[in-house]
């Protein structure tokens, strides 16, 4: 029969506001994490990464926070712009692994 897909978590923010996208991971052995941005019709694009020996890393307008205690990752986007509208995925892997494990994604919509 037909399978029913999960609805993506969604986040709507006003242009200029800050956005926070959250991700929970399950594997305690994961020690490298990436946030990807996927725009419509395109493949996932690398935004920022963080290793498990850090709890915060900043890029241009983006910050990733890692809380290993509760296995939580977040992506903060400052001064969100319409071009930030996309689906955002977190991905995790371990030093001994060959593959990334992706979250279900969060759909961000920026309201002009």
Partner 1 sequence: EAGVTQFPSHSVIEKGQTVTLRCDPISGHDNLYWYRRVMGKEIKFLLHFVKESKQDESGMPNNRFLAERTGGTYSTLKVQPAELEDSGVYFCASSPGGFTGPLNNEQFFGPGTRLTVL
Per the structure block, which two tokens stand in for 83? 């071009």
Alpha carbon distance, N-terminus to C-terminus of the chain: 41
Q: Which residues pair with 101 in a beta bridge?
A: 92
CA angle (43 as vertex; 38, 47 as ends), nearest 5: 50
Identity of the residue, 95 or 109, whose beta carbon is nearer to partner 1 in the bound complex: 95
**Contact status: 109 vs partner 1 (CB under 8 A):** no
Does 6 engage in binding with partner 1 (CB under 8 A)?
A: yes
Of 15 and 39, nearer to partner 1 (C-beta) is 39
Q: How far is the CB of 85 from partner 1 (least distance, A)?
A: 17
Q: Please list the alpha-helical segments (H only) found in the chain.
A: none
Is the CB of residue 21 less than 8 Å from the CB of residue 88?
Answer: yes
Select the residue interacting with partner 1 from 51, 55, 79, 109 (CB under 8 A): 51
For the bound state, the minimum distance from the C-beta of residue 97 to partner 1, rounded and expressed in Å, comes to 6
Yes or no: say if 87 and 9 are a contact pair by the CB < 8 Å rule. Answer: no
By CB under 8 A, name the binding residues for partner 1. 2-8, 31-32, 34, 36, 41-46, 49, 51, 89, 91, 93-105
């Amino acid at each position: 029969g037909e399978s029913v897909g999960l609805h993506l978590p969604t986040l709507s923010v006003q242009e200029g506001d800050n956005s926070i996208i959250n991700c929970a991971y399950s594997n305690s052995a994961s020690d490298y994490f990436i946030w990807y941005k996927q725009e419509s019709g395109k493949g996932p694009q690398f935004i920022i990464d963080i290793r498990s020996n850090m709890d915060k890393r900043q890029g241009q307008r983006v910050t990733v926070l890692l809380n290993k205690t509760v296995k939580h990752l977040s992506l903060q986007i400052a001064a969100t712009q319409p071009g930030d509208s996309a689906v955002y995925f977190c991905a995790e892997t371990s030093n001994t692994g060959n593959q990334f494990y992706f979250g279900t994604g969060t759909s961000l919509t920026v309201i002009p």
